[in-house]
C-alpha cells in the first residue's frame, strides 16, 4: 500500500528527531520556573520556534542531501522523501523555506520581548539550519555537525529559553545546556556511524568518516557519560537543587546502547540505538527539570 500524503510529510518532518528541540526548551523553562521567573507564553513561543527550526533543518537536509547525491538507494537510515520520490524536490525545498520563515516570525515575537540577544540567536540558528547541508561547504559535510548540534541544541537553546523569559542569565543555566547538547550529539554520532560508508563515498566528511568508526563509538560513549556528569558539576557549583543528580542515571540506562554501538554495525541495530537515545534525552530532560523544580 502506498503511503498517504500525510505519512510522506511525517517522514519528511521526522518527528522522532523533535526531542532534540523539545528537551532544551523544557529544561530552560523548568529552571526559570524553579527560580521563580518563568513566563509560560514566552516558553510556548520558544518551543514552537525551536520545533520549527528543527523541522526546517530536517526538510533542508532531505532536499540538499539528495541534490548532493548523499542519499542513495544504499541508505541504511529512515526513508528520505526526496530520494525515494515520495515528494517532489521543489516542494520539499519550498516547505523548508516556508518553515524557516515561520521560525523567523516566531523569533520576531520573541525579539519584541527579549531584544538583541534573541535576534542574534535567531539569525545564527536559521543560517546554521540552512547551511548545515546547503552551499558549497556545508557544515555537516565538513565534520562540523557535531559542534553545531552540541551548541545549538544545548547551551544556546536552554540559555536562550531561560533568557527570553527572565531577561537574565547565569552560569548554571549555561552549563545545564550541555546535557541535552551532548545527548543530541550522541544521536548524531550514531547516525554518522551508521552512514559512515555511504557518506565516505559521497564525500560527506563527518567525524566518523574523518577519524573512523572507532572514534565515533568512543564519541557516543563520551557524550552520554558527559551528559550524565553535567548535573554533578552544576550541583558542586551551586550547592543546591540536589535532586537534579537523579538525571545522571542515564549513564547506567545507556549500558545496553554502549554494548550495541561497540559490537554492531548493521543499520537496524544502530537505528534502534538512535530511537533509544532520543528517549534517553527525554528521560534526562524530565528528570533534570523535575529535580530543579523540586
Domain assignment present for 240: yes
Domain assignment present for 16: no
Query: What is the number of domains present in the chain?
Result: 1
pTM for this structure?
Answer: 0.93
Taking alpha carbons only, the member of 36, 151, 166 closest to residue 114 is 166
The per-residue pLDDT string of the chain (294 residues; one tens digit each, 9 = 90 and over) reads 566 888 899 989 988 889 999 999 999 999 999 999 999 999 999 999 999 999 999 999 999 988 887 766 555 667 778 888 889 999 999 999 999 999 999 999 999 999 999 999 999 999 999 999 888 889 888 999 999 999 999 999 999 999 999 999 999 999 999 999 999 999 999 999 999 988 888 888 999 999 999 999 999 999 999 999 999 999 999 999 999 999 999 999 999 999 999 999 898 999 999 999 999 999 999 999 999 998
Domain assignment present for 1: no
Domain assignment present for 232: yes
Where in the sequence is the domain holding 85, given as residue range(s)?
A: 22-293
Q: Which residue has the cell 528520505?
A: 80
Domain assignment present for 11: no
Amino acid at each position: 500500500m502506498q503511503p498517504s500524503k500525510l505519512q510522506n510529510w511525517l517522514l519528511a518532518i521526522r518527528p522522532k528527531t523533535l526531542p532534540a528541540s523539545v528537551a532544551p526548551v523544557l529544561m530552560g523553562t523548568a529552571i526559570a520556573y524553579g527560580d521563580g521567573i518563568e513566563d509560560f507564553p514566552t516558553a510556548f513561543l520558544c518551543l514552537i520556534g525551536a520545533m520549527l527550526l528543527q523541522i526546517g533543518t530536517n526538510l533542508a537536509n532531505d532536499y540538499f542531501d539528495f541534490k548532493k547525491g548523499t542519499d542513495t538507494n544504499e541508505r541504511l537510515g529512515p526513508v528520505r522523501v526526496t530520494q525515494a520520490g515520495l515528494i517532489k524536490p521543489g516542494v520539499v525545498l519550498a516547505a523548508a523555506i516556508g518553515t524557516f520563515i515561520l521560525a523567523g516570525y516566531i523569533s520576531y515575537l520573541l525579539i519584541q520581548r527579549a531584544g538583541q540577544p534573541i535576534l542574534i540567536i535567531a539569525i545564527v540558528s536559521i543560517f546554521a539550519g540552512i547551511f548545515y547541508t546547503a552551499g558549497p561547504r556545508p557544515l555537516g559535510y565538513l565534520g562540523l555537525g557535531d559542534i553545531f548540534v552540541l551548541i545549538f541544541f544545548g547551551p544556546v537553546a536552554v540559555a536562550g529559553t531561560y533568557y527570553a523569559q527572565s531577561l537574565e542569565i547565569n552560569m548554571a543555566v549555561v552549563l545545564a545546556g550541555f546535557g541535552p547538547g551532548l545527548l543530541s550529539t550522541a544521536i548524531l554520532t550514531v547516525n554518522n556511524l551508521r552512514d559512515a560508508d555511504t557518506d565516505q563515498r559521497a564525500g560527506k566528511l563527518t567525524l566518523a568518516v574523518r577519524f573512523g568508526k572507532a572514534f565515533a563509538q568512543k564519541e557516543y560513549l563520551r557524550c552520554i557519560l558527559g551528559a550524565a556528569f553535567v548535573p554533578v558539576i552544576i550541583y558542586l557549583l551551586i550547592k543546591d537543587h540536589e535532586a537534579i543528580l537523579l538525571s545522571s542515571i542515564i549513564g547506567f540506562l545507556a549500558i545496553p546502547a554502549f554494548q550495541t554501538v561497540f559490537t554492531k554495525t548493521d543499520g537496524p541495530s544502530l537505528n534502534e540505538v538512535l530511537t533509544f537515545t532520543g528517549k534517553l534525552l527525554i528521560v534526562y530532560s524530565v528528570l533534570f527539570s523535575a529535580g530543579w523544580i523540586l
